[in-house]
Amino acid sequence: MRSDFSFKIETRSTSLKARAGTLTTSHGVIHTPAFAPVGTKAGVKGILPEQLKTLGAEVVLANTYHLYLQPGEKIVKNAGGLGKFMGWEGPTMTDSGGFQVFSLGAAFGKTVSKFTRFNLVENEPVSTASIYDEEIASQHGQLAVIDEEGVSFTSHLDGSLHRFTPERSVELQHALGADIFFAFDECTAPTESYAYQKEAMERTHRWAERSLKAHRQNMNAAGKQAIFGIAQGGQFDDLRRQSAKTIADMGFDGFGLGGSFSKKYGDDSLESALAMLKKLPEEMPVHGLGIGEPNDLLAAISAGVDLFDCVAPTRLGRHGSIYTKHGLIHLKNEKYRSDFTPLPDVRLPMSYMGTEGFTKAYVSHLLRSGEMLGAIIASLHNVSFILNLVKGARQAILDGRFDQYRADFTRDYYRK
């Protein structure tokens, strides 16, 4: 029985399902709704752990697949667990590695991501998320074979053959030692047929049972780590509802809103996925896997999602895009070469940027010339923007004004 994990709802929105709560772990309290910056390989790209803390992050998420390949779970365990290994004192999470393995197989090179939404960059619609996991795009890792027991796959690093099963994924995540981790699941492409989505969903349910059993058999881990089950079902509402109820009834500590969806294929992916939550116990904490676009975050919060993670803030920053209250802007565009106004809408701590702040022209120059400082500044900006957005949503829920908070942000974000 876990002794170091609990979830308490403090306040609920009067008209929506948005709620503010506290999630207690052995390494600290997470005030929800909360966004977890992604440190794929035990490091949020371009941002030091102390900077994350200063920006307001309370939890970070790392990737099981990547840490299994480099440096190996034994090294992380011998270092004292994920948090100590990366110099982060707060709560940590790990995903199961399932999405990365999926990306090596059916989705490799097919422009599919967990949640591919659209945003405005200089008033032009563009995808705000990478399609498959760009971290594993190589000539080596292009194979993933799924069977009832698990998945065999090739490493994107050297082409060597590996195998994940639910039991192995749990074993790896026990060694990594995160406060919260996820059951192994099959993440399908949105283009798959109803028949295959159903087959994969049912396999995910069987894998969830095996993951939960493997976790409970390790009494030491079961007392310190929480395990969340992931629901699937593709783009089909009936399968999603069925999956949500099945996972909720298994006895997991929390719920992962799973799936790989894209508006490219004509579905209202997030809106439909959120309908799954109606099948959950109200007291169950919910994590939105891969949700990071600002309006998606607010939509998910309004439906009762408590935690989020996404690579988009740092990935967009590395490619020169930053969030503003009026949508994304791309600092490599010509007009920013001589724009000496400060980066908008985010005031980073003075120790990071001086008293006057960095100008668009300066960061544009850094990005255009390939200086890594440009990517660092843009990443800091984006992570701060998203953390502040979610923190503001939490405060708005506590103050009883979340509806207005969301409406005001949406109005400004899509204003041309």
Cite the annotated binding site for substrate by residue number.
95-99, 185, 232, 259
Assess whether 179 carries a catalytic annotation: no
Report the Cα 121 to chain-centroid distance in Å: 22
Q: Provide the residue count of the chain.
A: 416
285 and 246 Cβ atoms separated by less than 8 Å: no
Which two tokens mark 115? 């949640």
From the list 133, 179, 306, 309, the catalytic residue is 309
Q: What is the DSSP letter of 359?
A: B
Report the distance separating Cα 23 and Cα 34, nearest Å: 10
Q: Which of 4, 95, 147, 403 is catalytic?
A: 95
Confirm if 104 and 153 have CB atoms less than 8 A apart: yes
- Angstrom distance (rounded) from CA 210 to CA 246: 14
- Determine the number of helices (DSSP H) and then strands (DSSP E) in the chain: 16, 20
Cα dihedral 22/61/80/47 (nearest 10): -110
Question: For tokens 């772990």, what's the residue?
Answer: 25
Preceding peptide of 285 cis, ω within 30°: no
d(CA 272, CA 299) in angstroms, rounded, equals 11
Rounded Cα distance, 197 and 228, in Å: 21
* Residues 357, 343: Cα–Cα separation, whole Å: 7
Structure tokens at 404: 């207005």
d(CA 380, CA 322): 10
Q: Name the binding residues.
A: 95-99, 185, 232, 259
Distance CA 97, CA 156 (A): 13
DSSP 342: B
Transcribe 159-186 into DSSP letters.
--EEEE-HHHHHHHHHHHT-SEEE----
Among this protein's residues, is 309 annotated catalytic? yes
Strands (E), 160-283: 161-164, 180-182, 226-231, 254-257, 261-262
Q: Which residues are catalytic?
A: 95, 309
